[in-house]
């Protein structure tokens, strides 16, 4: 989950803090190179529709099982 304040969010009007976006990219690259799949969900989406986000994550996971 990406917090809107820390990670930056144009929808919520936050620019983000320091080098968080660059750090996120490095972490994602690290994980992807080791076979992990990275799914990012914005804080405002979770607050708006938690069940919808859960359903979306489950559907992404199911699609990746087939692929």
- Per-residue pLDDT tens digits for 5-27: 999 999 999 999 999 989 999 99
Which residues, other chains included, contact 60 with Cβ-Cβ below 8 Å and sequence gap of 6+?
Answer: 39
Rounded CA gap, 45 and 3, in Å? 10
Task: Give me the number of domains the chain comprises.
Answer: 1
Contact 17, 6 (CB under 8 A): yes
Residue 33: other Cβ atoms inside 10 A: 8
- Strand-pair partners of 9: 14
Which residue segment(s) compose the domain that 41 sits in? Answer: 4-66
pLDDT in tens, 23-57: 999 999 999 999 998 999 999 999 999 999 999 99
């Amino acid at each position: 989950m990406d917090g809107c304040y820390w990670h930056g969010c144009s929808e919520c009007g936050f620019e983000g803090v320091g080098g968080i976006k660059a750090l996120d990219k490095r972490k994602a690259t690290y994980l992807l190179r080791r076979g992990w799949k990275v799914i990012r969900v914005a804080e405002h989406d979770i607050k708006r529709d938690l069940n919808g986000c859960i359903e979306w994550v489950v559907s992404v996971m199911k699609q990746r099982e087939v692929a």
